[in-house]
Structure 1
Amino acid sequence: MNKKLLSVFSSLSLLTFNCYAAEVSPPNWWAGMKNNSLQLMVAEDNIAGAKIKIDYPGVSVKAVNSLDSENYLFIDLQINGAKPGKFPIRFYKDGQLVEELTYELKMREENAAQRRGFDATDSIYLITPDRFANGDTQNDTVEGYADKLNRNYKGGRHGGDIQGMINHLDYIADLGFTQIWTMPMLENAMEQYSYHGYSTTDFYNIDPRYGSNSLYRELSDTAAEQGIGVIIDVVLNHIGSEHPWMDDKPSADWINNESFSPTSHRREVLHDPHAAHEDKAAFSDGWFVPTMPDLNQRNPYLAQYLIQNSIWWVESANLSGIRVDTYSYSDKAFLSEWTTRLMTEYPNLNIVGEEWSVNPLITSYWQQGTSRRDNYVSALPSVMDFPLQSKLVSALASDETWATGLRELYEVLASDFVYGDPGNLVVFADNHDMSRIFTQLDEDITLWDMAMTFILTTRGIPQVFYGTEILMDNAGTDDHGIIRSDFPGGWQGDEINAFTQTGLTAAQRDAHSKIKQLLALRKAHPDLFSGELTHYGPHEGVYVYFRHNKSSPDKALMVIISKNETSKALALDRFESMLNGFSRATELVNDNTINLDKNITVPASSATVWLLQ
């Protein structure tokens, strides 16, 4: 086996025998999982063809298979009533013992299967770990990894890490966020531009420049103490070109295409009843870039590897959810199996898929509960709401006409009938792959305020990109390395420190305060945000909607977005059905309370939130 393969699985179960080291994935498992099957992938020189012996109560060998490489062996185990413990796996060739490793079935933590996933009462803080905070300078550059620390390069590694996030959990909690989604932190042993994490070279180890598996678990545990869950970013579609599989594939069909063949990105072909087979393959089997080989999940051994890997991370790191990168690019049948297996094991988990389409028909296709013409089975609870994001920006930036402006926002929400569960969509004004919302809105603070008020009060689960709360921007460029700039204060010696608000402008402090107020509102009234949204068609530049819940009839929220250049008296009789039973309204920002027996004066170019009681 090549030297790289021997080096990357540092935390896997190892046992040296006859001067060799066998590697097994998953590195451990748990007793008492709902699915009693487990497939081990063993990697070692010339291990193919070996016979297996396991003598442990409750564990039996169902099958042993070798594929095209002589250096891999796949062992199918049946686990019925086995107790937690360690047991030896012995490998024989020609009747002789050639290898032995120790495997462990761990005890599951209490209520592990019933873990609560993120939902509409939560709010998600999206972090680029390399760019948030450097908590451990000792891991800035790690021997054996080509991509060294280089803060002067927009695509270089800047030193942010897990310890940096742990050090600033109090900041995230004080803002009011209840979930953290980080871009991937698994090993990316690439020559350059590795900081983003989407070029996996080891599925079972945190990149040492971020920390370790144990430190990742510490992040999860420490965050939980502050009421914050951790969402992992999973990449099922591709790997990094430096992954050991590229030197020694377990089977010839492990990767789609022998060399770089770009994906068409034409996701419509998966839904087009007239689409040619070749066009479908060009989308699903193509590579993103030459450094991201495309995985063939039609291979059942690879499919099982990826399914078990996701379960392993949820269980071992005590996670509250998964975000799946480039969701629709993976094989459709595999995605059905993957989601079903995850949600069977963890019925209350939440998983959100990234389907970057602004067409609600395409986005909704993947969500569980959506009606489909082809009867495709999906157990995916949530999808990223790119259609809403696109219309939000257009609605705020466009003039108010019969077809543009706030009407666009109203119309995209009116299309919610295509979703299995619109209340479980993840909504956002921007993310790590697009210009920051402040830049998209030409640094108009009033429009930024409207956008963030809407995202944090509309239906769904809001996600906010780190730095949005201090108006971070990428003016003049759409380079991702600039979009994901360093968070001020995350590095020793930073003149501006957003964690303490030292050096922030008045506008930045106001933005921070606004985000905090809105998140406090969400935490104070979770029942309203898990409830319904009722909206009224925009009229004369004003859009009004309500958040309410039948289980809390004594309160509701009224949100008013106005794009008028002057203040306007808003007659309330139009909203009679929603205002019935309420006598007063208190404005979020200034605690101004009014009686609902008269009109409301709506400020020019504003987004106001009123608590009805």
Structure 2
Amino acid sequence: MKTYAIEKNILKHLGFMMILIVFAVNLSCKNNNEMDADAQQYSTSITDRRDIARVEPLNWWVGFKNPKLQLLVQHPDISERTVEINYQGVSIDKVHKADSPNYLFIDLDISEDTHAGKFNIIFKKEDDQDLLYTFELKPRQKPSEDYVGFNSSDAIYLITPDRFSNGNPDNDIVESLNEKTIDRNDNYARHGGDIQGITKHLDYIEDLGFTAIWPCPLLTNDMPQGSYHGYAMTNFYEIDPRYGKLEEYLELSDSMSKKGMKLIMDQVANHCGLEHWWMKDLPFKDWINHQAHFEKNAHNSDGYRSITTNHRRTTNQDIYASNIDKKSMTEGWFVSAMPDLNQRNPFMAQYTIQNSIWWIETANLGGIRQDTYPYPDKNFMSRWAGEIMNEYPNFSIVGEEWTSNPLLIAYWQQGNPNKDGYNSNLKSPMDFAMQEKVVKGLSEEEDWGSGLIEIYRALANDFAYVKPQDLMVFPDNHDMSRIYTQLKGDITNTKMALSYILTLPRIPQIYYGTEILMNDFDKPGDHGLIRTDFPGGWDGDEVNAFTGEGLTEDQKDMQSYLKKVLNYRKTSQAIHQGKTIHFAPEDGVYVLFRIHEDETVIHIINKNDKPFELDLTRFAEIGLKGKAVTNIISNHQFFWGDNITLEDKGSVILTTKLN
């Protein structure tokens, strides 16, 4: 009886504990639901107010690894006010006054359990009406790990948007902006290409075989002239209305994502345009480099030409470089119309990092291309890239370092064992060195130390790189003569350059119009001519490269050739990630192999004008004897034996892969 009573008592207590547990769970769920409801109710119950002239970033998100956010607030005499926020999970760490009374910088902490929603930032001043600014924290659309960048399996199509296609003529001229003319006869005026023009022709780009698009900058360039190129930004949070609206940029990104394509954003951390909104009221005395000199000469552009950079980029690595040369390089303005941003100012640094993250998250980017990479403070650039890659571990950034020296290229790649201990956190430098050698090797007469040996030695330099397959290589771009021009109008050489670049262990980028032999013969190197209108991008164009109407036979042939190579490359694991073996050029022939499991790709460059019998026994170590190989251009198939006859000068791409 006693045992039974004890058991009964225990059961009674257990039952009571279960009730408590259930009650606690229900209460917890209720509290969480109420918290969600409260956040939602608070978010929807307030009316958006924008009493403040400017707050940047324009919004933010919950759920980042880094809980910190710094808001730039710009408004007349805003520094006289105190700041309050009443939103669960959001707290003010510190409010910073700037040198100008018209700025505040607000450090926020956003806890990991903060709910998405809207809240008011309240700016108080005694004996004055409160000013409100409604700020929004959005839910993230996908985890950081799902932002996957470009890699060696991609092929990137570079576009100068103003010159590609005019999808919406209604936005050609915007009266509120400084440059108001459209003149397609002027290589340095705006021509009217826009975001809709790119979106309209995504099928064409995809059909060619490209998997990513890099448009030159699309942000507002409210400069009085030459604003078409996009690199003198006057608002880092606004799509230039002559290109379209933010919604159109997001539509482009979404349309590309549905096709499995990646959108790469061209960004500039080094400088802005002289007409940037903050240039009339700089927040700090050191917001830009040489600021005192600029302010003294603000109404005399010739007065600050003397503060331009010396362009001595090697000072970033040179162990003997003088301090004055380093300072002139990093702090000098790129050109007199582009003020040099001072990333050593902590507020400028944070602003720039947050701006990049804002665009990644807003536009679902598949990569960033960073302009003039060696020109800003290199320690800041390491932090900039590091913070992005820490948040988005599968993302990609490519940096522009225009040098033919592989040692300098290697210095900027993440993980390179630099003697000064510098780690850039940059995945992909641009391979200008390879580009130069490809042109040189194809242009020169064959000799023991010239011609194809230049290309062979360039690839042999890959030992200097941590991951050569992450370098971005290209035949040309928006800043140099078209590859067809560089190769003196030689179509065969142009095909050899393109096919070699597309089979290298690299990430290839092709400039729009290369597929139809666009050129700058009339004035080689002229930037306006390099960025010629793509035929068919404007209503009334007599030639339409999108449909093929009016193209010459040579243009159609090049378009077809590039399409075949790119579309084979798209599914080739040997090219994406295969082992590379090449054989030193002999008798005007250079052979490279890419090998992955059962797929071998053979690229042959033949500079002989007459039929040439190539001895295949020299390549016995590859193990192809008796295997069927197919020419990816002609589809001709044969069995690898002791020799083959190369009938014509040019490139041959063979594969063991079955269709």
Runs of 4+ aligned residues of structure 1 deviating over 6 Å after TM superposition are none
CA offset at residue 71 of structure 1?
A: 0.7
Match for residue 459 of structure 2? Answer: 413
2:61 to 30, 47, 59: 30
2:82 to 26, 51, 55: 51
Q: What aligned pairs does 1:105-184 form with structure 2 within 5 A after superposition?
A: 105-147=137-179, 148-184=181-217
* 1:485 correspondence with 2:532: yes
Match for residue 369 of structure 1? Answer: 415
How many percent identity over aligned positions?
49
Match for residue 78 of structure 1? Answer: 109
2:380 to 321, 327, 334: 334
Q: How far apart in 2 are the matches of 1:400 and 1:302?
A: 52
* 1:532 correspondence with 2:579: yes
Q: Are the counterparts in 1 of residues 475 and 501 from structure 2 also a CA contact under 8 Å?
A: yes
Match for residue 221 of structure 2? Answer: 188
Q: How far apart in 1 are the matches of 2:199 and 2:624?
A: 47
SS of residue paired to 2:266 = strand
* 1:15 correspondence with 2:61: no
Residue identity opposite 2:558 in structure 1: A
CA offset at residue 157 of structure 1?
A: 0.3
CA offset at residue 604 of structure 1?
A: 3.1
Match for residue 40 of structure 1? Answer: 71
Residue identity opposite 2:600 in structure 1: A
CA offset at residue 16 of structure 1?
A: 3.9
SS of residue paired to 1:521 = helix
SS of residue paired to 1:377 = coil
Q: Are the counterparts in 1 of residues 313 and 329 from structure 2 also a CA contact under 8 Å?
A: yes
Q: Which moved more, 1:281-290 or 1:200-209?
A: 281-290
Q: Are the counterparts in 2 of residues 562 and 603 from structure 1 also a CA contact under 8 Å?
A: no
1:174/1:285 CA distance change after superposition, 3 Å: same
1:28/1:475 CA distance change after superposition, 3 Å: same
CA offset at residue 94 of structure 1?
A: 3.6
Residue identity opposite 1:130 in structure 2: D
* 1:226 correspondence with 2:259: yes
Residue identity opposite 1:41 in structure 2: L
1:394 to 434, 440, 445: 440
* 1:66 correspondence with 2:97: yes
CA offset at residue 582 of structure 1?
A: 6.2
Q: Which moved more, 1:318-327 or 1:415-424?
A: 415-424
CA offset at residue 555 of structure 1?
A: 1.4
Match for residue 299 of structure 2? Answer: none
1:476 to 513, 519, 522: 522
Match for residue 313 of structure 1? Answer: 359
SS of residue paired to 2:249 = helix
CA offset at residue 124 of structure 1?
A: 0.3
Q: Between Structure 1 and Structure 2, how many residues are aligned?
A: 595
Q: Are the counterparts in 1 of residues 574 and 600 from structure 2 also a CA contact under 8 Å?
A: no
* 1:579 correspondence with 2:613: no
Superimposed CA distance per residue, residues 60-88 of structure 1 (whole angstroms, 9 cap, x where no aligned partner): 11110011111110000111121111111
Q: Are the counterparts in 2 of residues 131 and 160 from structure 1 also a CA contact under 8 Å?
A: yes
Superimposed CA distance per residue, residues 170-223 of structure 1 (whole angstroms, 9 cap, x where no aligned partner): 110111100000000100000000000000000000000000111100000011
Q: How far apart in 1 are the matches of 2:561 and 2:544?
A: 18
Q: How far apart in 2 are the matches of 1:378 and 1:581?
A: 45
Residue identity opposite 1:237 in structure 2: N
Give the structure with the higher percent helix.
Answer: 2
Q: Are the counterparts in 2 of residues 49 and 73 from structure 1 also a CA contact under 8 Å?
A: no
Q: How far apart in 1 are the matches of 2:414 and 2:404?
A: 19
Q: Are the counterparts in 1 of residues 519 and 530 from structure 2 also a CA contact under 8 Å?
A: yes
CA offset at residue 532 of structure 1?
A: 2.3
Superimposed CA distance per residue, residues 363-401 of structure 1 (whole angstroms, 9 cap, x where no aligned partner): 111110211010012211001100000101000001111
Structure 1 unaligned residues grouped into runs of 5+: 1-12
Residue identity opposite 1:153 in structure 2: D
Q: How far apart in 2 are the matches of 1:603 and 1:227?
A: 39
CA offset at residue 598 of structure 1?
A: 2.8
Match for residue 498 of structure 1? Answer: 545
* 1:287 correspondence with 2:333: yes
Q: How far apart in 2 are the matches of 1:447 and 1:433?
A: 21
SS of residue paired to 1:600 = strand
Q: Are the counterparts in 2 of residues 187 and 203 from structure 1 also a CA contact under 8 Å?
A: yes
Q: How far apart in 2 are the matches of 1:606 and 1:153?
A: 37
Match for residue 9 of structure 1? Answer: none
Q: Are the counterparts in 2 of residues 133 and 165 from structure 1 also a CA contact under 8 Å?
A: yes
SS of residue paired to 2:374 = helix
2:268 to 232, 235, 256: 235
User: In terms of Rg, which structure is larger?
Assistant: 2
Q: Are the counterparts in 2 of residues 45 and 70 from structure 1 also a CA contact under 8 Å?
A: yes
CA offset at residue 14 of structure 1?
A: 7.5
CA offset at residue 612 of structure 1?
A: 2.0
Q: Are the counterparts in 1 of residues 48 and 134 from structure 2 also a CA contact under 8 Å?
A: yes
Q: How far apart in 1 are the matches of 2:330 and 2:516?
A: 39
2:561 to 514, 518, 523: 514
Q: Are the counterparts in 2 of residues 112 and 315 from structure 1 also a CA contact under 8 Å?
A: no
Q: Are the counterparts in 1 of residues 146 and 394 from structure 2 also a CA contact under 8 Å?
A: yes
Q: How far apart in 1 are the matches of 2:88 and 2:595?
A: 54
CA offset at residue 97 of structure 1?
A: 5.2
SS of residue paired to 2:594 = strand
Match for residue 440 of structure 1? Answer: 486
CA offset at residue 577 of structure 1?
A: 1.7
Residue identity opposite 1:586 in structure 2: T
SS of residue paired to 1:143 = coil
Q: What aligned pairs does 1:346-357 form with structure 2 within 5 A after superposition?
A: 346-357=392-403
Q: Are the counterparts in 1 of residues 628 and 639 from structure 2 also a CA contact under 8 Å?
A: yes
Aligned Cα root-mean-square deviation (Å): 1.4
1:394/1:333 CA distance change after superposition, 3 Å: same
Q: Are the counterparts in 1 of residues 548 and 556 from structure 2 also a CA contact under 8 Å?
A: yes
Structure 2 unaligned residues grouped into runs of 5+: 1-46, 295-303
Q: What aligned pairs does 1:552-571 form with structure 2 within 5 A after superposition?
A: 553-571=597-615
1:201 to 234, 258, 268: 234
Q: How far apart in 1 are the matches of 2:116 and 2:514?
A: 46
